[in-house]
Amino acid sequence: MAFTASRVNSSHRPYGRAVAQILGGFLIGAILFFLVLPTLLVIPMSLTDSSYIEFPPKGLTFRWYGEFLSDPDWRAATIFSLKIALSTTVAATAVGTMAAIGLVRGNLPGKALLQALSLGPMIVPHVVFGVALYLIFSPLGLTGNFAGFLIAHTVLSVPYVIITVSAALERFDPSLELAALNCGASRSRAFFSVVLPNISPSVAAASVFAFLASFDEATVAFFISDTGGKTISRKMFEDIDFNLTPVIASVSTLLVAISLVLMGSIHLLTGRGED
């Protein structure tokens, strides 16, 4: 009898495990759908033919995308954001890569403390960081101009580069670099000929993270922008307060599309790096 009962219990275990997996998958899917739903609703709202945001839309039109492209204020904010994001990408990738090399390969005193400090911009609330930057930048005339935004966004983006590149350096076999040095290559030649080609997918992915961190940043931009120079995120906040039209939904849809394309490129780059 005991043998029969054990066989019955063991035969029911696969079914119980399958039911648990189905329920778990359904729960995870429901949570993800709940999180993604607001983003999906923005897309049809950007196509409404009404002069105000509504869901469901009564008609479909691309009028508001045309309004975005033809409005000089929106164009100026978009171009300003792109200039800052591209410059931040270059600066943060260079600084973050060098910092990652120093933290991973270097024998620095207080290395753990330096690693923690390098990730500080990710930990400190952006509101606090924005207030601090405003108090520092305002007397120096760095609010609302390209230089101020470049400094602020580079500081915010560097931690993403450090994390991504450090992970690649941890996986890289240092004996390959040592072999290049033993063959007579200088330290810089060994880095550019051996190390950098092997970690280049991660460096490229880190640059995409830096671009997104700058282009999508809104909190700090609210403090250090002015009428002379404002990012697209600051422009969106202003229109939400004073001129709420479906143009906001159109801009949001474009930002979502850009983010998805860049995140897809990160997935391809990291996948290539693992291969």
Three-class secondary structure of residue 244 per DSSP: coil
Is residue 169 scored above 50 in pLDDT?
yes
Is residue 87 scored above 90 in pLDDT?
yes
Strand extents, DSSP E, the chain: none
Model pTM? Answer: 0.79
Residue type, 51: S
Q: Across all residues in the chain, what is the average pLDDT?
A: 80
pLDDT for res 166:
87
Q: Per-residue pLDDT tens for 222-261? A: 888 876 677 888 888 777 777 777 888 888 888 888 888 8
How far is residue 210's CA from residue 135's CA, in Å, rounded to a whole number? 25
pLDDT for res 47:
81
Long-range residue pairs from 121-124, CB within 8 A, at least 24 positions apart, any chain:
121/155, 121/156, 121/158, 121/159, 122/159, 122/160
User: Angle at Cα 147 formed by Cα 233 and Cα 144, nearest 5°?
Assistant: 45
**Greatest extent of the chain over all pairs of C-alpha atoms, in Å:** 87
Name residues whose C-beta falls within 8 Å of residue 264's C-beta, 6 or more positions apart in sequence. none
For residue 49, give the H/E element and its range: none
Percent of the chain residues past pLDDT 70, beyond the cut: 91
Q: Per-residue pLDDT tens for 29-48? A: 888 888 877 778 888 888 87
Residue type, 238: E
